[in-house]
Amino acid sequence: MSTVSSSASSPTSPTLPLATRADSLVGSVIDSSTSLLASYTHDIVKFGMGAPAPDMLPSSEFARIAKSVFSPESFTYGETQGEPVLIDALLKYLEDTSQIPEEHFGQRERLVITSGGMQGLDLGFKLFVSPGDLVFCESPTYTNGSATAMSYEAEVVEVPVDHEGMQVDALEGLVAQAGRSPAVIYTIPTFQNPAGVTMSLERRKELLEFAHRHNSVILEDNPYGTLRFSGESIPTLSQLSPNDPLIFGVRTFSKFVAPGLRIGWIDVDPEIRGLAINAKQTMDTCTSVPTQHMVAQWLSEGGANDHVDHLRDAYLERKKTMATGLDQLFGDEVRSTDPDGGFFLWVTFEDDSINTENLLPAALDEGVAYIPGPAFSPAGAFTNALRLCFASNAPDRIDEGLQRLRSAVDKHRTP
């Protein structure tokens, strides 16, 4: 047990008998940005949260579908692994769109519906991380993922990322340094969050070899894979290595349908699935049943097809608008990644004295929000970088937001 003093608002309250793992719970700067912005009353262009814009959500279809699927049966408990209608519709969608290898076709027993991608991450780390285990993650990374590993008392080691994704050739050196192999390698290989980069085919193969050499689980977090708007598609790790028990796939409807639904899934070896179901039963019994029925109906009607095409077109335009705007307003002052899909540009100031955490209040005053670089590193690196989400705003708002960012940087430099 570890002890911390409870709430500062009550100085006389006793010391709480917290579990040791409570010390490993780090909050999410990314998630907290939603509450932070709610406290501002002036107009803010939101480049922070990785969420589709309200105009990109299929809300009217879902409003119509809700009326037809809401019955008394859809308000009771469901099966932990997910509603059969959703599993069937999802599997068909994944097969029709070649998102899974042919070897997995028809394998309903690989899928568990989860309460968002976050629950998939929690299940993966819960099953494979014991206290003190080593977990490799990308640097920068989606720190809600690394934080989940830390909540199971993992020791997280950051692996540098370049334009081809995780630098897989650094892994053996890190193993030698640590004197042990990682229990889990956490990667977002496609349109990485926050860097937007995609791991090359060669590195994917090397990563698989590494994982098999060390018997490490690869947690393949792939929320953005459907949203490719340019370039050649690259197979996922599970497509490269079908029926591989070392690959734990985490997916979500949040980025190509709507994050507020809180529906995702895991795609795992059937042997692991049973354990994942047990683990999920200790979390939430089952994912929201009415929402699962809505998504199932939307998928069965073929709703995803046109919708995803529309998203790809819109996001390509938004990315181009943001990249062009950055170039015009910041020129050589910054360098930015150039993603072929997903939601994010990762922007680094050449002047490393610019601290994006310190800049944020000025940016919010000017009316633009972003997530500062250190929020994407467990060690708090990338102080002169920031993540911009291009998906959440129409092109004219992107232009407006970048103008505001420009003036925030100017004011911050010359107070």
Min dist. Cβ of residue 341 to ligand PMP (A): 13
Q: What is the dihedral of CA 29, 30, 32, 35, to 10 degrees?
A: 140
User: Which of the residues 81 through 140 are near ligand PMP (CB under 6 A)?
Assistant: 116-118
CB contact set of 207 (below 8 Å; sequence gap of 6+): 166, 168, 171, 185, 187, 199, 218, 237
Q: Rounded to whole angstroms, what are the CA distances from 256 to 52, 110, 300?
A: 8, 21, 16
186 binds ligand PMP, rule: CB under 6 A? no
Q: Identity (one letter) of the amino acid at 318?
A: R
260 DSSP 8-state letter? G
User: Which of the residues 143 through 162 are near ligand PMP (CB under 6 A)?
Assistant: 145
- When the beta carbons of 64 and 307 are compared against ligand PMP, the nearer one is 307
Q: Are residues 1 and 17 in contact, defined by beta-carbon separation less than 8 angstroms?
A: yes
Site string for ligand PMP, 247-286 (x = CB under 6 A): -----x-x----x----x----------------------
Q: What are phi and psi of 315, to 5 degrees?
A: -75, -30
Min dist. Cβ of residue 413 to ligand PMP (A): 31
219 binds ligand PMP, rule: CB under 6 A? no
Integer Cα distance of 206 and 164 in angstroms: 13
Min dist. Cβ of residue 353 to ligand PMP (A): 29
Min dist. Cβ of residue 376 to ligand PMP (A): 10
Integer Cα distance of 322 and 405 in angstroms: 12
Instruction: Select the residue interacting with ligand PMP from 83, 221, 267, 269 (CB under 6 A).
Output: 221
Min dist. Cβ of residue 11 to ligand PMP (A): 37
Instruction: Select the residue interacting with ligand PMP from 48, 50, 140, 249 (CB under 6 A).
Output: 50
223 binds ligand PMP, rule: CB under 6 A? yes
Scan for tokens 């640590």, then name that residue. Answer: 178
225 binds ligand PMP, rule: CB under 6 A? no
* Long-range contacts at 173-176 (CB < 8 A, ≥ 24 apart): 174/136, 175/214
188 binds ligand PMP, rule: CB under 6 A? yes
Interacting residues toward ligand PMP by CB under 6 A: 50, 116-118, 142, 145, 188, 193, 221, 223, 252, 254, 259, 264
